[in-house]
Structure 1
Amino acid sequence: MANTIDGGVLSSINRGGAGTGSAGVGEDLRENFMTLLVTQLKNQDPLNPMENAEMTSQLAQINTVTGIESLNDTLSGITGQIDAGHTLQAAGLIGKGVLVPGDRLLVGEEGATTPFGIELGSSADQVNVSILDGSGQVVRRFELGAMSAGVESFVWDGTLDGGSLAPKGAYRLSVEALADGKQQSFQTLNYAQVIAISTSYKDGPRLDLGGINEPVKMSDIRQIL
């Protein structure tokens, strides 16, 4: 659940028939091998027949090829199932609000604001948040005190430093996270709603956030609200 600040908030990889092609190559290899082996046995010197060890070695080689093909087919099937699972998981997020990397904060009617978040790489003994308007001017500042490493979400009450409601529009977050007076690593997070998914990317499904952010990966989601 978000904290309230009121005074100081897979991918469908196109494998297009790769398994079938691999199986076809393997079958050709096996047929060619057996043809060569039978021919070799028919034409061998009766006084110097093929050694059992030599035949066993050749059979082992073709079995190795067959085993590798079977393993590749199995891995391909497992990967396809994982991809389908990722897509299904992404589809379950449609209509939900999420926090993803970004610094955008929206103010609507009567001071209603979108949540935001901060992700700290390590704990900080003092975290300060500034809200900037479109011209880059600070319109509200908060001192949040100490925060632990991880993600924490907040909601701004929409009031400016002077006490009036912020005008409707887009604002930006600026964060300062200090530990022993030194700046700590952090990531600002903004709110967006998942409106659709796309499976056209090779590295996994992307979530369409309706223009608030560029389409993001599942791994970009820091919190589901």
Structure 2
Amino acid sequence: MSILPSTQTKTEALQQPGNPAAFAPSTALGQKDFLLLLTTQMMNQDPTQPMDPTAFVSDLTQMSQLEATAQLNQSVMAMTAGFQNLQVMQASSMIGKNVVAKGEVFSHQAGEASTIRLNTSEPLKDAKLVITNGSGVVRELSYPSLARGDTSISWDGKNAAGLDMTSGEYQLVAYGYNAEGDIKSVNSYVGTSVRSVSVEPDGSMMLTLATGERVKMDAVREIS
């Protein structure tokens, strides 16, 4: 029995489509190709008008700098991608954690006091903290003055009539007046938990809180 392929088999094998890309020359011009071009140019130069060696060195230096820049860009991109992956892994550990973050919405538990932290960049007087829900104003707390920096405020969970409010989400608005009499808003920081973490197109980390608010990572003041 013959082990040689038949004529028909040989013909079919020759007619099988190949992979042109596997044999296609590289389209990238590297330093080796650049040196080959320069060497060929020197071998075929006009003896009466030889090449300027200064121009040769300058071209070679520019080629080396271009390759170094391309390699540096690739390294920076790889480092950036690795850093973002590390950020995601670190931020994922925050899911379910209790945090104190900048926001205007907080969760209140009936029968318990809620602690709110106010922050102002300058001393204020006649400050007010207005607590509201879906039905309107629940309670308005007044303070003769607020010192610059953080001030902890405790709400006993009662409305203006002294009745305990039900559990749920409430909104905050805080403001006061500076020495010139201008009204100034006051930043509020509330306790909540982290529901999820996401990465924005610009690489920044965003936290979705239990209240539904989305804040940046740098808005978090405490983690527990």
Identity of aligned residues (%): 26
CA distance in 2, matches of 1:153, 1:85: 34
Mapped pair 1:95 → 2:96: yes
Q: Report the CA distance shift for 1:97/1:72 in structure 2 as closer, same or farther (over 3 A).
A: same
Structure 1 residues 223 and 147: alpha-carbon distance in aligned structure 2, compared to 1, 3 A threshold? farther
Aligned match of 1:84: 85
- Separation in 2 of the partners of 1:153 and 1:224? 17
Cα distance change of structure 1 residues 87 and 93 upon mapping to structure 2, 3 Å threshold: same
Q: TM-score, normalised by structure 1?
A: 0.72
**Bigger relative contact order, structure 1 or 2 (CA pairs below 8 A, ≥6 apart):** 1
Aligned residues: 198
Which residue matches 2:68?
Answer: 67
Q: Structure 1 stretches of 5 or more lacking a match?
A: 1-23
C-alpha displacement of 1:56: 0.5
The 2-side partners of 1:126 and 1:222 are apart by: 26
Query: CA shift at 1:200, angstroms?
Result: 6.5
* Deviations 1:95-147 (CA, angstroms, capped at 9, x unpaired): 222233432233333x235543323233323422122242223x322233433
1:173 paired residue number: 172
Aligned to 2:140: 141
- Alpha-carbon distance in structure 2 between the residues aligned to 1:217 and 1:153: 22
Which deviates more, 177-186 or 56-65?
A: 177-186
| Residues 50 and 96 (structure 1), Cα distance of their counterparts in 2 relative to 1, 3 Å cut | same
Alpha-carbon separation, structure 2, partners of 1:169 and 1:220? 23
8 Å contact kept, 2:114–2:156: no
Q: Does 1:37 align with 2:17?
A: no
Give 3-state SS (helix, strand or coil) of 1:163's partner.
coil
Letter in 2 for 1:203: G
Deviation by residue 1:57-78 (Cα, 9 ceiling, x = unmatched): 1111101102212322332243
Closer/same/farther in 2, CA of residues 214 and 124 from structure 1, 3 Å limit: same
- Aligned: 1:48 with 2:49: yes
Instruction: Find the counterpart in structure 2 of residue 106 from structure 1.
Output: 107
C-alpha change, 1:90 and 1:114, in structure 2 (3 Å) is farther
Given the two structures, how large is their TM-score scaled by the length of structure 2? 0.72
Measured on the aligned residues, the alpha-carbon RMSD in Å equals: 2.9
Q: Hey, what does 1:124 align to over in structure 2?
A: 124
Which one has the largest radius of gyration?
A: 2
Q: What residue identity is the alignment partner of 1:98?
A: V
Distance 1:150 1:39, change over 3 A: farther
Separation in structure 1 between the aligned mates of residue 80 and residue 118 of structure 2, nearest angstrom: 34
Is the CA contact (8 Å cut-off) linking 2:84 and 2:203 kept in structure 1? no
Once the two structures are TM-superposed, the CA of residue 35 in structure 1 deviates from its matched residue by: 3.1
Query: What's 1:218 paired with?
Result: 217
Residue pair 2:198, 2:207 contacting (<8 A) in 1 also = yes
CA contact (8 A) 1:105 1:113 kept: no
